[in-house]
Amino acid sequence: MTDALQFLLSGIVVGSIYGLIGVGFTCIYNVTGIVNFAQGDFAMVGAMSAITLLAFGVPLPLAVLLAVIATCLVAAVIERTAIRPVRSDVVRGIIVTIGIGVILHGVAALVWGTDAQPMPAFSGDAPLRIGGATIAPQALWVIGTALAAMIALELLFRKTFLGQMFRACAINPFAAGLVGIRVGTMSLISFIVSGALGAIAGIVVAPIALTQYDSGLQLGIKGFVACIVGGFGGPIGAALGGILLGILEAFAAGYVSSGYKNAIAFVLLLAFLLFRPGGLFGDMEKVRG
Amino acid sequence: MIRMLLLLATLAACTFAGSDYAVSLAVVIGLQALPALGLTLLTGYTGQISLGHAAFYGLGAYGAALLSRAIGISPLPGVFLASLLVGGIAWAIGWLVFRLKGHHLAMATLAFGIIVQIAFVEMHGLTGGPNGLSGIAPLSLFGTDLITDAQVLPIVWGALILALLLAQNLIASPVGLVMRAIAEGDRVVGSLGNDVAAVKRKVMMLSGFLCAVGGGLYAHYVGYLSPGPFDVGFSVRLLLMVALGGFANVWGVLFGVAFVTLVGEALKPLGAFDVIAYGVLLVVSVIFFPEGLFAGIATPIAVQVRRLKKGIAR
């Protein structure tokens, strides 16, 4: 029983990470209709920048702030130079964002080397006990951040004027342009917000999982699985999908085999894509081939 | 026809120039051109993206190696048999994934690729796990082992040229027209009475078969397999080759493969730069050269030359 509780807790923590990345995906997708395959690399860039700044003796809050700003800048540059020319074409959009992921990953290998980098926890390392299970204080930061990001983004999309403009761009960019919405600017803003979300996710997670130049791909794919499971398009769905995936993975690693842990996530992805491509909370019509 | 002769002449020059390095490069290019050609048919002509083609290459390689070790079947029929099997697998995967399109198709194929790679690592009993599979018999023809690169070259390029001719014929056929129409929009094609899903599945099957032929020959050529070369990075590199070649262009992809291989060789001493170069090439070629790098550079030059000639004539 203690085992199960432990798996559940660590599943929720890991799932929150996936959810955070997934929320970043939905942000860009909801505005541009593009799935950004470099989303996980935003997290890597954010975490690596924060680690470097900390190593130079910058205090933690300032380091986090600067790292987030740096990642936003990277995201903005990417949107202006690479995404803009291919906006309408799905296949080319996919290939371009993959290419960007590869570039970020190669540059990171050059700048930060190929070694995994640790980051100190925000509030100490003394584990907290819940029932018979233990949980690191950093895990609470992860869960809290995921919840905050999910709620903030949901409010942004549903309740603000900016959110309405965002959704208008996703539904019909041409019509949105006709009523005076600057579609290009909206796309830029969505990339910046998504870069910030990715960076925050990477930084919050860094003390738990080591960050490496190539950790972006895995994170990105897991985040996408989270989106699929939850139904593409909604931040709440993405976050819940992430947590579900995390719990499933934790139990699979605990009771089946840790080597196959990653495969399970992808089997889940395939199963959802094939039998319920709209996800748990989404609609089916958009994705059918 | 001229292009085929030029190709044969280049290969002959490589072989008889006596440079072992040139010959081994030609073999490597030939081995990668087979899967790249397969991906061109699927992504370029039929418009269906796949991020999992490294898996078919890997399945072909492990399949051929295991067939030759377990049953003792001789290498070339073994490669053929393994490729047929992988073609069947590709058909089945197509049956699964072509319910999806766009981003979802990309992710589904990516997931398939990663699952297969994890299986290569985890199935120790069959694949040797991360340690790999060694002692794979070299290729042989009529009982003679083909050890040197110069001996392997005709087999690899023979298979590739056959595949090229086949691909050209396929594209010129009515089915090829349907394929290209599907890339433009499958609703219209379906409304004309074509079974879109069946065509996609068959192209996927052929594509997987070509990948597996490349993989099987690779296995017997290097004699040692590990899961490393069959990762997502290779799938992306195949996509890069297709993009550089201009997507729907059988001969362009050959250029793409050669270009990527040579760039990779040139940048190898510099360390991680090759990855950055691949990424930059992919982005630049998709944005600025949708017809492929070769056409993208050659066409403006040809236009200028024509303009100059006109100017002189006047």
* pLDDT tens profile B228-258: 888 888 998 898 888 888 888 888 888 889 9
- pTM (2 d.p.): 0.87
* pLDDT of the residue at B61: 93
Which pLDDT tens digit goes with each residue over B97-110? 888 877 888 888 98
Contacts B43 to A, Cβ<8 Å: 91
Residue of A nearest to B108 (CA): A270
Contacts A35 to B, Cβ<8 Å: 103, 106-107
Q: What are the beta bridge partners of residue A133? A: A130
Helices (H) and strands (E) in chain A, counts: 11, 2
Q: Is A257 on the interface with B (CB under 8 A)?
A: yes
Cβ atoms A106, B264 nearer than 8 A: no
* pLDDT of the residue at B59: 94
* pLDDT of the residue at B62: 93
Sign of CA dihedral A162, A163, A165, A170: positive
| Contact call for A270 and B108, based on CB within 8 A | yes
What do you get for the CA distance between the two ends of chain B, in Å? 34
Which pLDDT tens digit goes with each residue over B66-91? 988 888 788 888 899 999 999 999 99
Min distance A253 CA to chain B CA atoms (Å): 14
**DSSP-assigned letter for residue B132:** -
Q: What are the beta bridge partners of residue B145? A: B140
Q: How confident is the model at residue B314 (pLDDT cuts 50, 70, 90)?
A: low
Cβ atoms A214, A13 nearer than 8 A: no
Cβ atoms A90, B105 nearer than 8 A: no
Q: In percent, how much of chain B has pLDDT > 90?
A: 27
Min distance A172 CA to chain B CA atoms (Å): 18
Length of chain A, in residues: 289
Min distance B271 CA to chain A CA atoms (Å): 9
Highest mean pLDDT among B9-13, B216-220, B280-284: B216-220
Average of per-residue pLDDT across B120-143: 81
**Beta strands A128-130 and A133-135, pairing class:** antiparallel
Q: How far is CA A104 from CA A64, B105, B148, B277, in A?
A: 19, 24, 39, 11
* pLDDT of the residue at B87: 94
* pLDDT of the residue at A283: 52
Average of per-residue pLDDT across B25-46: 91
Contacts B186 to A, Cβ<8 Å: 289
Write a three-state SS string for A143-210.
Answer: HHHHHHHHHHHHHHHHHCHHHHHHHHHHHCHHHHHHCCCCHHHHHHHHHHHHHHHHHHHHHHHCCCCC
Q: How confident is the model at residue B301 (pLDDT cuts 50, 70, 90)?
A: confident
Q: Which of B43, B103, B124 to mutate to test the interface with A (most CBs of A within 10 A)?
A: B103
Torsion (CA) B65, B71, B72, B78 in degrees, nearest 10: -50
The amino acid occupying position A101 is G
- Across the interface, of A37, A106, A263, the residue whose CB is closest to B275 is A106
Q: Is A258 on the interface with B (CB under 8 A)?
A: no
Residues 6 or more apart from A30 whose CB is under 8 A from it?
A: A157, A166, A167, A170, A190, A233
Q: Which of B283, B285, B288 to mutate to test the interface with A (most CBs of A within 10 A)?
A: B283
Q: Is A146 on the interface with B (CB under 8 A)?
A: no
Indicate whether B120 pLDDT > 80. yes
| Contact call for B279 and A217, based on CB within 8 A | no
3-class SS at B248? coil
Q: Average per-residue pLDDT in chain B?
A: 86
- Report residue A86 CA to chain centroid gap: 23
* pLDDT of the residue at A275: 79
Q: Is A271 on the interface with B (CB under 8 A)?
A: no
Residue of A nearest to B98 (CA): A289
Count the Cβ atoms, other than its own, within 10 Å of residue B255: 19
Which token pair is B226? Answer: 């590990």
Q: Is A44 on the interface with B (CB under 8 A)?
A: no
Average of per-residue pLDDT across B276-280: 86
Q: How far is CA A167 from CA A187, A241, B39, in A?
A: 11, 21, 35
Which pLDDT tens digit goes with each residue over B165-191? 999 999 999 999 999 898 888 788 888
Residues 6 or more apart from B36 whose CB is under 8 A from it?
A: B238, B241, B242, B245, B253, B256, B257
Q: pLDDT tens, position by position, for chain A (289 residues)? A: 678 888 888 888 888 888 888 888 888 887 888 888 888 899 999 998 998 998 888 888 899 999 999 999 999 999 898 888 877 677 788 888 889 988 998 888 888 887 777 787 777 777 777 777 777 888 888 888 888 888 888 888 888 998 888 888 888 888 888 998 888 888 899 999 999 999 998 898 888 877 777 778 788 888 888 888 887 767 888 888 888 888 888 888 878 777 777 777 778 777 887 777 777 766 544 444 3
Length of chain B, in residues: 314
Average of per-residue pLDDT across B19-35: 88
